[in-house]
Structure 1
C-alpha cells in the first residue's frame, strides 16, 4: 500500500526543467547572472581602457564568457578556482600559439592545440574547460592573434583572466559567498594519539570512498574532500530524520550552573569539581551568553575569566538533538548551550545527555543484557 505522506514523483514532462546541479537554487542563479553581467562588462571595459579597442587587439576573448559561467554559477567547483581560470586560460592559449606555429594545417593544428592544452593544464593542476576554447582561439584567431604572436597568451588572455578573477573575488565577497572555495580541514584527533578521530571510526572509511570511485571509473566535478564531507553529512541527516522527534528541549538540563564574567577563577574551578561537570557557561552583566570555560581554560587563567573564554557551541530549543552529534564528537566540545534569540541560556546538553537519549532508542537484546550484567 502506498504511503500517502510519501513525496510524489514529478511528472516526466517537467523533468527536462529540473536543476542539473545539486544544491542549485533560484537565488544562486540570479546572483550568478548578476555577477557575470557586472564582471564581464568591467573586464572588457578595463582591458579596452588599458590597451585600446583597435582592430588589432580583441580587448576581451570569447573563452572569458565560459570562465564566467564557472566562476559565478559553480564557484565551489575545482575547475572554477583562481589558478584554474588564470593558469588554464593562459597556458592553453600558449599551447594554441605553439600548435599554430609548428603545424601549418589548421585542421591538424586545432586538434594538436586542444590536446596540448589538456595535457598542460593537467600537469600544472589548472584544468579549466574554457582553456580548450582559448587554445582554439589562438589557433584560429587569424591576423589579429598572429600579430601578437607569443604575447597573445598574456595580452589579452592572461590580462582578461586576472581581471575576471579579481572582480569575481570582490563580487563574491560582497555577496557573502565562499570563494575561493576552501575545503575545511578533516577532523583531527585532538588527543594527539595515532587513533583516528572518534567521528570517523564508524561509517564509511576513506578506502571505501576510493573503492567506490574506482567502481564508477569516472571523474566527478567535486573535490575529493568535499565528496567525503558531503557523504558524512548525508549520514548525519539520515540519522536526524530517523530520530527527528527528539528535540533539544527534550533532553537538555535546565538547571544550568553558570557564572558571570567577573567570577573568580578559583570559584569557577570549585563549581566544576563540586558539580562534576566540564563546561561552565559564562554570562555578561545583562545575562547573555558570551562564552564557556572549563578546567583547560582555567589552567591558563591570569586572574580574569574574560581572557580565557572559549567560543560557546549553541543550539536552538527546537533543533533536532541528533544534529549536535558533529559538535559533541569533535574531541573538544563537551557541552552545547541551548539559548533563545537574545542568547539567554535556556539549558545545556552534554555528551552524556545526548548519549543517554540515543541509548534509549537502541533495541536491547539478550547479548547487550549479558554485557551490562
Structure 2
C-alpha cells in the first residue's frame, strides 16, 4: 500500500478522471463504434466491404478517452488511417512475401509517412498491418481498403467524436 501512496504523492500517477469525462468517453465510444458496426452490417458487409477493423478500437480510446492528445486530433485520425492504409496496400502489393518482412515494412513505412505528413496516429500502424496480414476479404480490396474501411471509418468516428465532445461541458475537440 505504501508503494501506491508514494507514487500518488510523487505525481507519477495519472490524474483522476472526472465522472463526466468517463461518461462522455463511454457514450462517445459506444455511439461511434455502434454506428460503425451498424453501417458495416447494413451497408459494407452486404457489398463485400469491411468497415470494422481492430485499429478503430484504438482510435476510439484516443478520440473519446484522450481528446486533448495531439495524436487524437482530426488531422491525425483521418490522415493517419488513410495514409497508413495506402502504405499498407502498396507494400503488400509490392512485396507480398515473406509476410514477416511485408508486415514490418508496412508498419515502419506508415510511421515514417505519418511523421513526414504530421498525421501521426498510433492506430494507423495497425491499419497498415491489417492491410497486409488480414485474410483474403481485406487483401482483395486493394486500394479500395483506403476508402473503406480506413477513410470512411475514420470519418464516421470523427463525426461521433465531434458531436459527443461538443455536448460535454468543459471538453473542447478538436484542439487545433
Give the TM-score of the pair, scaled to structure 2: 0.87
Tell me the equivalent position of 2:3: 12
Give the C-alpha shift of residue 61 in structure 1: 1.0
Matches within 5 A, 1:98-113: 98-103=90-95, 104-113=97-106
Tell me the equivalent position of 2:173: 179
Tell me the equivalent position of 2:137: 144
Tell me the equivalent position of 1:61: 53
Tell me the equivalent position of 1:134: 127
Q: 1:151 to 1:40 in 2, by over 3 A?
A: same
Over the aligned positions, Cα root-mean-square deviation in angstroms equals: 2.3
User: Structure 1 or 2: larger helix share?
Assistant: 2
Check conservation: 2:24, 2:164, Cα contact below 8 A: no
Q: Number of aligned pairs?
A: 172
Give the C-alpha shift of residue 55 in structure 1: 8.9
Q: What do the CA deviations read for 1:308-352 (whole angstroms, capped 9, x no partner)?
A: xxxxxxxxxxxxxxxxxxxxxxxxxxxxxxxxxxxxxxxxxxxxx
Distance 1:16 1:64 in 2: 32
Higher relative contact order (CA 8 A, sep 6+): 2
Give the C-alpha shift of residue 167 in structure 1: 1.2
Q: What do the CA deviations read for 1:62-86 (whole angstroms, capped 9, x no partner)?
A: 1110000000111000000011001
Report whether the alignment pairs 1:80 with 2:84.
no
Structure 1: 5+ residue runs without aligned partners?
1-9, 183-373
Match of 1:33 among 26, 33, 54: 26
Q: What do the CA deviations read for 1:249-280 (whole angstroms, capped 9, x no partner)?
A: xxxxxxxxxxxxxxxxxxxxxxxxxxxxxxxx
Higher Rg: 1
